[in-house]
Amino acid sequence: MLTLSPNRGGIDLAATLGCGQVFQWYSDGAGGWRGIVDGAPVRARQEGGALVCDSPLPAGRIRAYFRLDDNLEAIYASFPDDAQQAVAAFRGMRLVQQDLWECLLSFVCATNANIPRIHKMIAALCRRYGDEAGEGLYSFPTAASLAAANEGDLRALGLGYRAAHLLAMARRVDGGLFDLSELTRMDYASAHARLQALPGVGPKVADCVCLFSLGHLRAVPVDTWVRRMVQRRAPGLRSYRAMAEFAQAWLGPYAGYAQQYLFHYERTQAGWGCGGQ
């Protein structure tokens, strides 16, 4: 059992795991969560300001996954005033640093789907192509296991048009035609551009991977929720690039962090205006 103390700002585990950045964690309804990191089962709960984990993984790996070394108080201080209401609602919510391959496929699945449906698609994918990891959990499928599938099987899981993208991506990665590891050595702009060479990956999915896996904390995925927030403040903007750049200027150096608070607040609190404008 590991007891981990976060850097300033504490942790809100329910918000962290339920805010739509990661899709394979399950709540027991009593504050406990179970999920998989690096293929290993993890049980997690918060006790006061600390994170308590039961897992075979070393503490350092858990700290990195939950970004426990981020100084949330310093990050909050960089946000504009109109993000503070969302901060107050989810103080302690942390971005996670999730596996690159899992993140990539998850957000390709997420295109034009709502969050409950994304959970279902990914659960089905893991059950069918992942490995049993104990406690009823299945690991995220490897590129090799997906590359051996066929499109009909994937469509049968309810993936729709996403099936072809996942299959093509798995075959390119498994066949060595696309090197995921090089992304981790790139700066934000290079990684964002390179990711879009993959089928089913446009600027929004690329930004999700940059933010939730590669740690580029100023990346702002402009989805339908973020677009509405941006256009409320800058009605003339149309292109993805323009809206993302506006959001980065508006939200500051940790724009991706701020974006996640606003996104979660907009979706769950039916908030309208977020304290500003």
Shortest Cβ distance from residue 200 to DNA (Å)? 5
Shortest Cβ distance from residue 25 to DNA (Å)? 14
What is the Rg, in whole angstroms, of the alpha carbon atoms belonging to the chain?
A: 18
CB nearer DNA, residue 61 or residue 155 = 155
CB nearer DNA, residue 36 or residue 207 = 207
- What b/e sequence results for 197-218 when a residue is b if at least 16 CB atoms lie within 10 Å of its CB, and e otherwise? ebebbebbbbbbbbbbbbebbb
The region of 38-46, 85-93, 96-104, 157-165 touching DNA under the rule CB under 7 A is: 157-165
CB nearer DNA, residue 38 or residue 151 = 151
The region of 64-72, 186-194, 198-206, 268-276 touching DNA under the rule CB under 7 A is: 198-206
Tell which residue, 45, 21, 8, has the closest CA to residue 102. Answer: 21
Q: Which helix (H) or strand (E) holds 33?
A: strand 33-37
Task: Kindly state the tokens that stand for 68.
Answer: 């426990």
- The C-alpha angle with vertex 173 and arms to 224 and 217, in degrees rounded to 5, equals 40
Does position 164 interact with DNA (CB under 7 A)? The reply is: yes
Does position 263 interact with DNA (CB under 7 A)? The reply is: yes
Shortest Cβ distance from residue 120 to DNA (Å)? 6
Does position 200 interact with DNA (CB under 7 A)? The reply is: yes
- The C-alpha angle with vertex 178 and arms to 244 and 183, in degrees rounded to 5, equals 45
Residue 204 annotated to the active site: yes
Does position 96 interact with DNA (CB under 7 A)? The reply is: no
Instruction: Report DSSP letters for 229-270, one per residue.
Output: HHHHH-TT--SHHHHHHHHHHHH-TTHHHHHHHHHHHHHHS-
Q: Which candidate in 34, 192, 204, 216 is catalytic?
A: 204
Does position 107 interact with DNA (CB under 7 A)? The reply is: yes
Tell which residue, 96, 95, 92, has the closest CA to residue 49. Answer: 92
Pick from 32, 80, 92, 160: which binds DNA (CB under 7 A)? 160
Pick from 32, 240, 245, 248: which binds DNA (CB under 7 A)? 240
Can you say whether the dihedral through the CA atoms of 129, 131, 133, 139 is positive or negative?
Answer: negative
Does position 202 interact with DNA (CB under 7 A)? The reply is: yes
| CB-count burial class (<10 Å; 0-12, 13-18, 19+) for 69 | exposed
Does position 205 interact with DNA (CB under 7 A)? The reply is: yes
CB nearer DNA, residue 116 or residue 235 = 116
Q: Which residues bind DNA (CB under 7 A)?
A: 19-21, 107, 110-118, 120, 155, 158, 160-161, 164, 196, 198-206, 208, 221, 223-226, 238-242, 259-260, 263, 267
